[in-house]
Each structure stands twice: as C-alpha cells, then as structure tokens.
Amino acid sequence: METTLIILKPDAVQRGLMGRIITRFEEKGLQIVGTKLMVISQDLAAKHYESHKGKPFYDGLVKFMTSAPVLVLAVRGIGAIAISRKMMGATFGSKAEPGTIRGDFGVSNSFNLIHGSDSPEAAERELSLFFASGEVINHDRAVDRWVYDSSGGKPE
C-alpha cells in the first residue's frame, strides 16, 4: 500500500468541487486516511514548493496557494501515487483529457485544481509537512476485499 498527498487547491475549494473530487478517489477504490481543511502559511508553501524556488512561476504559485483554504488529503491504495496522478490529468486544464479531474473541471493554465505527490519520496516528504504524527489513520475497510483481488495470496 502507498499513501500519497493530494491537495485540493484554492480554486477547487472556492468552486465547491471538494465532494465531487473526493468521490472520484473513493469510487476508484482508494482510501482517504487523512484530511485537513486549512489555509497554507507562507512558510509551509515555501517548504512545500522549495524545489521550484527561483523559477518564474514560483512567486505566483506561493501567492495562489496561500490565498484561500485548501483541502489536504492523505490517500492510500496499491499504486496510489500513479493512479492519483493519472486521475488528475495533465498539468494544464486546457490540455487535460476528458475523464480526468483537470480535464473535466479545468480550463486554466494557471489554476489547476489539484496537487498530487509525484513519487514515493515526494509523498513521504509532503505528507510529513502537512500531517503530524497520528493524523494519518491506519484502518481496515471491509470493502477492500472487493477492491483488490487477493485470491493469489497477495492483494493486486
């Protein structure tokens, strides 16, 4: 099982898309194991986006991400990182395929609704920035036996 960080950005929250987006993750079979509605501080945004510091879009990105509440999620499942990124779609809504979150809800090349960790290392780092110890909950779901085929002895 992998756990990844998903952030529903200010545009998703302001447009009232939180429920519709969370539903997509749950309907896919992924498990929500942490949530937090928050306004990201300047310091936290700087830490989260430190790899982009110095790039032309950095200041605007930090300003956008701190401008209004976001919904931070910890999402778990087998292959959760790759699955979530595929569900999100291409970075720019204008280029994202229909059926993806950005493709269905976005047209902007600046406001792109959602962030998802791009690797296990990034997920671990990002989750630790947004969730304190104990805030990501480990719990069994009865539905997992219908989400993952374990007939071979290992869930797949």
pLDDT tens for each residue of 74-98: 999 999 999 999 999 999 999 999 9
Domains and CATH numbers, the chain: 2-138 (3.30.70.141)
Burial of 6 (0-12, 13-18, 19+ CB in 10 A): buried
Which pLDDT value is given to residue 154?
Answer: 83
Active site residues: 115
Radius of gyration of the chain (CA): 16
Residues of the chain with pLDDT under 70: none
3-class state of residue 77 by DSSP: strand
Q: What pLDDT shows up at residue 153?
A: 83
- The pTM (predicted TM-score) of the whole model is 0.94
What confidence score (pLDDT) does residue 109 get? 84
